[in-house]
């Protein structure tokens, strides 16, 4: 089977047979199915019930390392199957261990990701009897009490955000002295959010003899520093760093700021899209855009930090169930949502970090489906666009601004900002000959 026909399932597999372990990853991708791994019967039943057949590259490379008991530092973006790459070997281990103690701690940067991982544990471990609980802040006293009871009942796996986990550690209720596995998911995002000190404090509560697994979409120097501090002679795996899925049709529109919202409305009303994520850089802009779309009779909700936990959960559930067609959010949403069938992602502005661009557009074209990613680029964002194209190693297709919007311009800066620095096409007034063609300049 060729690599482009792999089933990119969101889960993973356990340790392979010795003969397969010795083969390179390119061969593994071609011949290994989930039936080739030594799962216990109950875990295998969970995998098969979800219809998974072929492991993804991160699963094929990481699972043998994890199953062998080694620490690992793995670089793989969201949507590549990294969650399953660590869940399945851990579930296999727990099934052979003492079920009456906390075996595994998974740290995640956001409550949405913690809940998502907990749901995946529930699905895979359904027939095994392995238990889990998601621990995160933002709820009421009842939620905290439910978390405390779960801890006292010695669930097997805890998935937690750092802040709320420390609250339970400080209370004395949570004891992690028998922990076998520590997993850091999206470690780069946790460091971006300022969780380094919290992570180190949590590590101080853990036994020194444990297996530590660090998964990150990017691998900056601070991640490697963290790995050296908390991992023990880790093996390393890198999978398709920072490359968007091949099924994403990437497009850009060169626009003035006043053209952005009219163009957004035109795309939503005329494009025939049914499930749309819109990313903006600031919370206030997210709220403003949601109001504008609602005023245009587009069913929209804003996803931001001012929402209560219950509101965030209801919003994401409605979006997943196709009751809400459009969500506007900041970059926090790009790693906190795992919904198949999203057919359009719009970057209302260009993200400052090229890696964030990859995460944003990675919400579409999941599991080898197709999707569209559109980015609005004003004259100030040209440098950011160039950085993104350097990262993904190809130009992004330039689209034609609709004729009805070409008269809208930045009046005060029309003469200077209306031109690209090298004197080529005017912003927001693209030549017809360039429509649908990749930028070659």
> Which of the pair, 187 or 77, is modelled with greater confidence?
187
Q: Is residue 430's pLDDT more than 70?
A: no
- In this prediction, residue 372 carries a pLDDT of 93
- In this prediction, residue 367 carries a pLDDT of 56
- In this prediction, residue 336 carries a pLDDT of 59
- In this prediction, residue 117 carries a pLDDT of 95
Q: Is residue 254's pLDDT more than 90?
A: yes
324-336 mean pLDDT = 81
How does the average pLDDT of the chain come out, rounded? 81
Q: Is residue 279's pLDDT more than 50?
A: yes
Q: Is residue 420's pLDDT more than 50?
A: no
Domains along the chain with CATH numbers: 3-238 (3.40.50.300), 248-438 (3.40.50.300)
| Structural tokens at position 100 | 């009456």
pTM check: above 0.85: no
User: At 257, is the pLDDT very low, low, confident or very high (cuts 50, 70, 90)?
Assistant: very high
Residue from 117, 157, 122, 152 nearest 50 by CA:
122
**β-strands 397-398, 437-438 pairing:** antiparallel
Can you state the angle between helices 82-95 and 111-124, rounded to 10 degrees?
Answer: 50
Each residue's pLDDT tens digit, 83-126: 999 999 999 999 888 778 899 999 999 888 999 999 999 999 99
User: At 439, is the pLDDT very low, low, confident or very high (cuts 50, 70, 90)?
Assistant: very low
- Length of the chain as a residue count: 441
Which distant-in-sequence residues (6+ apart) come within 8 Å of 247 by Cβ? 365, 368, 369, 370, 371
Distance CA(388)–CA(435), nearest Å, equals: 20
- In this prediction, residue 406 carries a pLDDT of 86
Q: Is residue 365's pLDDT more than 50?
A: yes
176-180 mean pLDDT = 93
Distance CA(300)–CA(303), nearest Å, equals: 10
User: At 29, is the pLDDT very low, low, confident or very high (cuts 50, 70, 90)?
Assistant: very low
User: At 26, is the pLDDT very low, low, confident or very high (cuts 50, 70, 90)?
Assistant: very low
| DSSP designation for 401 | P
Distance CA(387)–CA(391), nearest Å, equals: 6
Q: Is residue 434's pLDDT more than 50?
A: no
- The fraction of the chain above a pLDDT of 70, given in percent, is 81
289-312 mean pLDDT = 89
- In this prediction, residue 156 carries a pLDDT of 95
Cα dihedral 315/319/322/326 (nearest 10): 110
Q: Is residue 21's pLDDT more than 60?
A: no
- In this prediction, residue 338 carries a pLDDT of 66
299-319 mean pLDDT = 85
Torsion sign across C-alpha atoms 301, 160, 105, 45:
negative
Q: Is residue 278's pLDDT more than 50?
A: yes
User: At 308, is the pLDDT very low, low, confident or very high (cuts 50, 70, 90)?
Assistant: confident
Give the per-residue SS3 of 13-69: CCCECHHHHCCCHHHHHHHCCHHHECCCHHHHHHHHHCCCCCCCHHHHHHHHHHHCC
Distance CA(334)–CA(330), nearest Å, equals: 7
Q: Is residue 229's pLDDT more than 90?
A: yes
Of the listed ranges 23-37, 184-198, 278-292, 399-413, the one predicted with least confidence: 23-37
> How far lies 209's CA from each of 15, 71, 180, 430, in Å?
21, 11, 8, 61
User: At 217, is the pLDDT very low, low, confident or very high (cuts 50, 70, 90)?
Assistant: confident
> Which of the pair, 432 or 57, is modelled with greater confidence?
57
- In this prediction, residue 24 carries a pLDDT of 38
Segment of 230-239, 240-249, 309-318 carrying the highest mean pLDDT: 230-239
Are the CB atoms for 218 and 186 separated by under 8 Å?
Answer: no
- In this prediction, residue 89 carries a pLDDT of 94
249-259 mean pLDDT = 95
- In this prediction, residue 407 carries a pLDDT of 82
Residue from 214, 224, 219 nearest 62 by CA:
214
Q: What phi, psi does 139 have (nearest 5°)?
A: -95, -170
> How far lies 255's CA from each of 87, 258, 405, 408, in Å?
44, 8, 9, 9
- Residue by residue, DSSP assigns 217-264 as S---HHHHHHHHHH-SS-EEEE-STT---TTEEEEEEE--HHHHHHHH
Q: Is residue 241's pLDDT more than 90?
A: no
- In this prediction, residue 238 carries a pLDDT of 86
The alpha helices in 393-430, defined as continuous H runs, are 414-417
């Amino acid at each position: 089977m060729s690599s482009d026909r792999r089933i990119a399932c969101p889960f993973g597999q356990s340790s392979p047979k010795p003969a397969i372990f010795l083969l390179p990853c390119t061969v593994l991708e071609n011949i290994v199915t989930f039936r080739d791994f030594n799962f216990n019967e109950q875990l295998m039943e969970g995998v098969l019930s979800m219809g998974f057949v072929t492991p993804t590259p991160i699963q094929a490379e990481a699972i043998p390392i994890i199953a062998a008991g080694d620490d690992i530092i793995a670089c793989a973006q969201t949507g590549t199957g990294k969650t399953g790459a660590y869940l399945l070997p851990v579930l296999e281990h727990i099934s052979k261990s003492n079920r009456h103690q906390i075996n595994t701690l998974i740290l995640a940067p956001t409550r949405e990701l913690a809940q998502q991982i907990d749901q995946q544990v529930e699905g895979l471990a359904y027939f095994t009897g392995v238990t889990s609980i998601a621990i995160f802040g933002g709820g009421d006293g009842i939620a905290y009490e439910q978390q405390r009871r779960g801890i006292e009942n010695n669930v097997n796996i805890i998935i937690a955000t750092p802040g709320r986990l420390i609250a339970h550690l400080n209370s004395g209720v949570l004891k992690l002295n028998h922990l076998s596995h520590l997993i850091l998911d999206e470690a780069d995002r946790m460091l971006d959010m300022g969780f380094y000190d919290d992570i180190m404090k949590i590590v101080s509560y853990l036994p020194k003899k444990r297996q530590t697994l660090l998964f990150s979409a990017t691998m900056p120097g601070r991640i490697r520093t963290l790995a050296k501090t908390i991992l023990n002679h880790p093996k390393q795996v890198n999978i398709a760093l920072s490359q968007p899925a091949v099924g994403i049709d990437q497009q850009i529109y060169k626009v003035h700021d006043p053209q952005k919202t009219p163009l957004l409305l035109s795309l939503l009303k005329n494009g025939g899209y049914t499930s749309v994520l819109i990313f903006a850089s600031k919370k206030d802009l997210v709220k403003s855009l949601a109001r504008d779309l609602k005023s245009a009779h587009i069913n929209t909700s804003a996803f931001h930090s001012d929402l209560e936990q219950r509101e965030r959960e209801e919003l994401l559930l409605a979006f997943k169930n196709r009751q809400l067609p459009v969500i506007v959010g900041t970059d926090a949403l790009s790693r906190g949502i795992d919904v198949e069938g999203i057919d359009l992602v719009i970057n209302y502005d260009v993200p400052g970090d090229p890696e964030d661009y990859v995460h944003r557009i990675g919400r579409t074209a999941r599991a080898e489906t197709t999707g569209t990613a559109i980015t609005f680029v004003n004259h100030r964002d040209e440098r950011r666009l160039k950085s993104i194209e350097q990262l993904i190693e190809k130009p992004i297709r330039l689209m034609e601004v609709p004729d009805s919007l070409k008269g809208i311009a930045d009046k005060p800066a029309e003469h200077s900002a209306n031109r690209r620095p090298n004197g080529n096409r005017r912003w927001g007034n693209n030549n017809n000959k360039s429509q649908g063609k990749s930028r070659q300049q």
